[in-house]
Structure 1
Amino acid sequence: MQAHDPASDAVLIARFLGGEAAAFESLINPHRQRLYSYLCRMIDDSESAKDLLQDVLVKVLQALPKYREQQKFSSWLFSTTP
């Protein structure tokens, strides 16, 4: 498994905000499993965690224009979880 380069997050965010919808999946994929695992630990139910993950991703999608690069994307991403 290849290590994630946090610098690429800024590039993917810019591409997504520029209209490239596929950049969102590329941005989220390196973080998806860790976020899902976090949600599973929080609610102790894998099916509910899957549903909640989708809700979180919609929230991230809507809030992404407000993201500021002063904060690591992964930190910001986890701050959007309930």
Structure 2
Amino acid sequence: MMDRFDRQLMDFVRSWVPYGGPPAEEVMLEFGMTREQLTRRVHLIVAAEQARREQEMRQPWLRLQHSAPQAVHSPSSTGPQG
């Protein structure tokens, strides 16, 4: 999963897409990296997210296990008591 920094990076890149990408000066000011470093980082983020999604698609039951609410049984809900 992407952390906060990765999300900020991706938001920054997306905002510059209509203009052909961010200028090198903006990248350096915003993130302290070169444009080439930014490009490599974005490729890594995208590849990691694709791999994560592919794994989820291959194992859909894992998603269901994590999203299913856990049942809590109280003594009064276990049935008739004798």
Q: Decide: shared fold, TM above 0.5.
A: no
TM-score relative to the length of structure 1: 0.31
Q: Which has the higher contact order (CA 8 A, sep 6+)?
A: 1
TM-score relative to the length of structure 2: 0.31
